[in-house]
């Protein structure tokens, strides 16, 4: 009896009208859409595109920030070349692989004319070498004591030194001068590690490093050099070095190996060449190796043998030609 009464009461309760049910459905749907749109784990969609900041241009090298005048002018007292230690100004090229009109310093960026090999300084300007040497001596100052040299050597001679410049088969290049001055801004000396063809004549490398930068070599061990800047070096008064924007293509020079050697006939040249090809190799040269002791070993071997052979299978063809030129001179 009690169950029946409850059933009658529930069934007799009035139902809500249809429009109320429809409005509740819409309100629930709108709430669910808002929840989907503004879900807490996700950020709301931006109404407009974010404003992009204009890209800033990369800063120019240090040597170009000081001088904003174009064309640039440099007071360095020598002709600009790509490589100073691996080229001989006395040997004139017989041709060019690219037009000499295109200067590697950029069109109209230097007040020196590029002739395909070098950018020569204005010879009309009177250059007093006495004043140049006097200025360099003032920058170097008093000579270092033995204790100061030992301190600098112990600080910069190790392999983990962060003030290091690698000198490769290009030798002492023009842009390397600017790299050395950039290191001298924060360090008294620079560690230079030499590899490749340039190590055949380390005296030539040391001369051009001191001559082009104005520093002093305070340490030399096989192929490791330490270049000291001087006591009175002021980074803000460093010389202006215009940078080369690309590597110029090497000119065409006369043929190195002649068909007939000077002072010999064709038959004698052929006989000597066959004798050298069939003889055992004195030593084997590797690519970008250290050739410091090659000249000494050749000079000692020439006292016993007339023709010697070097194994250069792992060396590039261009490096073989450079090695041949240096060995002829040395």
Mean residue pLDDT of the chain comes to 81
What pLDDT digit, counting tens, does each position of 280-327 carry? Answer: 888 888 888 899 999 899 889 888 888 888 888 888 888 888 888 888
Residue with tokens 């270049």: 227
42 close to 35: Cβ distance less than 8 angstroms: no
- Report pTM: 0.75
Domain locations along the chain: 63-237, 266-329
283 close to 310: Cβ distance less than 8 angstroms: yes
For the domain covering 63-237, report its CATH number: 3.30.110.60
What pLDDT digit, counting tens, does each position of 73-131 carry? Answer: 888 888 999 999 998 888 889 999 988 888 999 888 888 889 989 998 876 566 777 88
What pLDDT digit, counting tens, does each position of 222-253 carry? Answer: 899 999 999 999 999 899 999 999 999 989 98
pLDDT at 68 over 60: no
């Amino acid at each position: 009896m009690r169950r029946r009464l409850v059933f009658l009461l529930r069934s007799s309760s009035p139902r809500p009208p249809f429009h109320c049910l429809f409005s509740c459905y819409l309100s629930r749907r709108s709430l669910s859409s808002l929840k989907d749109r503004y879900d807490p784990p996700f950020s709301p969609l931006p109404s407009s595109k974010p404003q992009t900041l204009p890209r800033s241009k990369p800063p120019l090298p240090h040597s170009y920030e000081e001088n904003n005048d174009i064309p640039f002018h440099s007071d360095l007292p020598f002709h600009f070349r790509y490589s100073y230690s691996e080229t001989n100004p006395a040997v004139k090229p017989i041709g060019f692989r690219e037009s000499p009109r295109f200067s590697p310093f950029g069109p109209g960026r230097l007040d020196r004319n590029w002739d395909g090999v070098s950018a020569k300084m204005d010879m009309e300007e009177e250059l007093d070498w006495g004043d140049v040497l006097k200025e360099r001596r003032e920058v170097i100052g008093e000579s270092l004591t033995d204790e100061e040299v030992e301190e600098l050597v112990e600080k910069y001679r190790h392999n983990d030194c962060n003030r290091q410049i690698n000198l490769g088969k290009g030798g002492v290049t023009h842009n390397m001068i600017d790299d050395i001055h950039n290191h001298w801004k924060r360090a008294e000396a620079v560690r230079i590690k030499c590899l490749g063809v340039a190590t055949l004549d380390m005296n030539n490398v040391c001369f051009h490093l001191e001559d082009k930068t104005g520093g002093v070599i305070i340490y030399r061990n096989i192929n490791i050099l330490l270049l000291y800047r001087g006591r009175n070096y002021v980074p803000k008064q460093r010389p202006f070095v215009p940078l080369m924007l690309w590597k110029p293509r090497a000119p065409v020079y006369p043929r190195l190996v002649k068909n007939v050697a000077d002072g010999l006939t064709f038959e004698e040249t052929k006989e000597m060449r066959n004798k050298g090809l069939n003889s055992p190799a004195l030593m084997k040269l590797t690519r970008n190796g250290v050739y410091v002791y090659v000249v000494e070993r050749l000079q000692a071997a020439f006292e016993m043998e007339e023709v010697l052979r070097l194994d250069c299978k792992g060396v590039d063809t261009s490096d073989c030609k450079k090695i041949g030129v240096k060995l002829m001179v040395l």
